[in-house]
């Protein structure tokens, strides 16, 4: 864990090095992924069967690749009543929040008489990748699928690896609650290929969303252009701004909530009280010992964690914007005053009683957020990510006569005579 103090003479140099650290050192699997993609593109289901056997140790029959409704219903029934209740509550809250994101169409006539505007329409089909290996996350199913449904996507296709044929029942329950249309028991780069190119069993889609390992992430990059994708996501991260009025146990737990995700995850604390910072670090070490992912959490904290001591918590704004965190937790007396000044953050959590974990499950906004500093120029997943905007332009004879000659001049200046002619031929035509 790195400790920095803004009052130190070398703070700027240390901080600059810190925010440039590359946390994820993934192997280059580009060539391997390219071969997998081409195999699925050219051989379809046959390749999916081979890769599923090789990577998931599971003999898949193309006819059984799609999980039947009866099997989904059985999985749902195997979940506890409290789990289903929690999933339904989360789904309702995610729906309510995202309904408010639906964009409105616009159409008007400007001073020259030109009809202008735009119209929003949903992407026709979306594929959702859901991890099925070390971690199974039904919450991610809801966070990806529900905004798509709210946008009006007509077909939602989910792919999930089933190592040795096993699948998490809650993942299937979440898919059913979210309104996923088809679920296929395939994973890895081969599943991304199937969604991008289509096979006899798996329909091609227009956009692919959802997290995955380095093979999945690389596959999404390589098929981008054939289909749309959501984002290039890296390891999770949280920045907690906290004063000494907080319980150190709370803040330690908040930091660990990110650190336990992945050894490459990052947790950062900014505080104006070094004694409080030391207490948080001590409690973090103690709490981590009792976690099932203790080794992962402690590795993350040791290698990528940081504590930054500032003179005043309001001093944190400039640091926040330079870090551009995925999650920003403001556990201070007046969180709104800091929040209003922050430009770069995927999601902002206000006050001492708003742990980031609430956003992971059922606060409402999607937990699919920009990582690795990309909050500088991108946003979390939302309804608009599953929609397209078409511009609307309409000229009548009068408005064309006013604007057309100027457009023709620009066309001629660019050496595009046919462009100019397509305008002037209409101007010359007699009524």
* CA gap 371, 347 in Å, rounded: 11
* CA gap 165, 279 in Å, rounded: 46
Same fold? 30-229, 234-377: yes
Beta partners for residue 228, in sequence order = 207
pLDDT confidence tier of residue 178, bands split at 50, 70 and 90? very high
pLDDT tens-digit readout, 239-282: 999 999 999 999 999 999 999 998 999 999 999 999 999 999 99
pLDDT tens-digit readout, 8-48: 999 999 999 999 888 776 678 999 999 999 999 999 999 99
Per-residue model confidence (pLDDT) at position 28: 83
Note if 327 is an active site residue: yes
Do 331 and 243 touch, CB atoms closer than 8 A? yes
Do 256 and 292 touch, CB atoms closer than 8 A? no
Residues in the chain: 431
In 3-state terms the chain splits into helix, strand, coil percentages (rounded to 5) of 50, 15, 35
Is 428's pLDDT higher than 80? Answer: no
Average pLDDT over residues 304-309: 97
Domain ranges of the chain: 30-229, 234-377, 396-428
* CA gap 99, 282 in Å, rounded: 43
Per-residue model confidence (pLDDT) at position 133: 60
* CA gap 175, 156 in Å, rounded: 10
Is 431's pLDDT higher than 60? Answer: no
Per-residue model confidence (pLDDT) at position 212: 86
Per-residue model confidence (pLDDT) at position 213: 86
Strands ordered across the beta sheet of 237-242 = 2-5, 306-309, 266-271, 237-242, 327-331, 347-350
| Phi/psi of residue 266, nearest 5 degrees | -135, 135
CATH H-level superfamily of 30-229: Nitrogenase molybdenum iron protein domain (3.40.50.1980)
Average pLDDT over residues 160-164: 92
Per-residue model confidence (pLDDT) at position 237: 95
Please spell the DSSP secondary structure of 357-401, one letter per residue. Answer: HHHHHTSSS-S----TTGGGT-----GGGGEEEEEEEE--HHHHH
Q: Which fold has domain 234-377?
A: Rossmann fold (3.40.50)
pLDDT tens-digit readout, 349-363: 999 999 999 999 999
Is 158's pLDDT higher than 60? Answer: yes
pLDDT confidence tier of residue 429, bands split at 50, 70 and 90? low
Catalytic residue (one of 98, 261, 327, 367): 327
CA atoms within 13 A on the CB side of 279: 15
Percent with pLDDT over 70 in the chain: 98
Note if 419 is an active site residue: no
Q: Which of 199, 201, 129, 207 is CA-nearest to residue 171?
A: 129
Averaged pLDDT score across all residues of the chain: 95
Average pLDDT over residues 309-322: 95
pLDDT tens-digit readout, 93-134: 999 999 999 999 999 999 999 999 999 999 999 999 998 765
pLDDT confidence tier of residue 295, bands split at 50, 70 and 90? very high
Q: Which residues contact 147 (CB under 8 A, 6 or more apart)?
A: 94, 98, 101, 366, 381, 382, 383, 385, 386
Per-residue model confidence (pLDDT) at position 214: 87
Here the tokens at position 313 are 């918590």
Beta partners for residue 237, in sequence order = 266
């Amino acid at each position: 864990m790195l400790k920095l103090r803004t009052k130190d003479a070398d703070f700027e140099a240390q901080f600059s090095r810190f925010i440039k650290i590359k946390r994820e050192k993934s192997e280059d699997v580009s060539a391997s992924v390219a071969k997998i993609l081409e195999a699925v593109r050219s051989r379809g289901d046959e390749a999916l069967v081979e890769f599923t056997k090789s990577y998931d140790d599971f003999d898949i029959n193309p006819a059984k690749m799609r999980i039947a409704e009866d099997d989904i219903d059985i999985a749902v029934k195997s979940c506890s009543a409290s789990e289903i209740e929690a999933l339904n509550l989360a789904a309702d809250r995610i729906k309510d929040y995202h309904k408010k994101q639906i964009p409105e169409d616009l159409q008007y006539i400007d001073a020259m008489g030109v009809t202008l505007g735009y119209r929003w329409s949903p992407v026709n089909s979306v594929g959702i990748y859901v991890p099925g290996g070390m971690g199974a996350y039904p919450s991610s199913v809801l966070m990806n699928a529900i905004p798509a449904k709210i946008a009006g996507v007509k077909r939602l296709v989910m792919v999930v690896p089933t190592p040795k044929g096993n699948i998490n029942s809650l993942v299937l329950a979440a898919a059913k609650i979210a309104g996923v249309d088809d679920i296929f028991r395939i994973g890895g780069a081969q599943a991304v290929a199937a969604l991008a190119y289509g096979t006899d069993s798996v329909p091609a889609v227009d956009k692919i969303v959802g997290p995955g390992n380095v093979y999945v992430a690389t596959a999404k990059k390589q098929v981008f252009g054939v289909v749309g994708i959501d984002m290039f996501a890296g390891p999770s991260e949280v920045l907690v701004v906290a004063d000494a009025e907080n319980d150190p146990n709370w803040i330690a737990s908040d930091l660990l909530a990110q650190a336990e995700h992945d050894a490459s995850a990052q947790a950062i604390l900014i505080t104006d009280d070094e004694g409080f910072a030391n207490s948080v670090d001590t409690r973090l070490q103690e709490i981590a010992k009792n976690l099932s992912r203790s080794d992962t959490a402690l590795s993350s904290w040791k290698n990528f964690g940081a504590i930054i001591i500032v003179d005043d918590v309001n001093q944190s704004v400039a640091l926040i914007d330079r870090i551009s965190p995925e999650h920003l937790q403001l556990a201070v007396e007046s969180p709104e005053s800091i929040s209003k000044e922050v430009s770069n953050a995927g999601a902002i959590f206000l006050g001492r009683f708003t742990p980031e974990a609430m956003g992971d499950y059922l606060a409402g906004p999607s937990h699919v957020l920009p990582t690795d500093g990309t909050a500088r120029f991108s946003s979390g997943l939302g309804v608009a990510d599953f929609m397209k905007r078409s511009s609307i332009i309409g000229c009548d004879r009068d408005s064309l006569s006013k604007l057309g000659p100027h457009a023709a001049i620009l066309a001629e200046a660019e050496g595009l005579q046919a462009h100019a002619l397509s305008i002037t031929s209409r101007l010359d035509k007699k009524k």
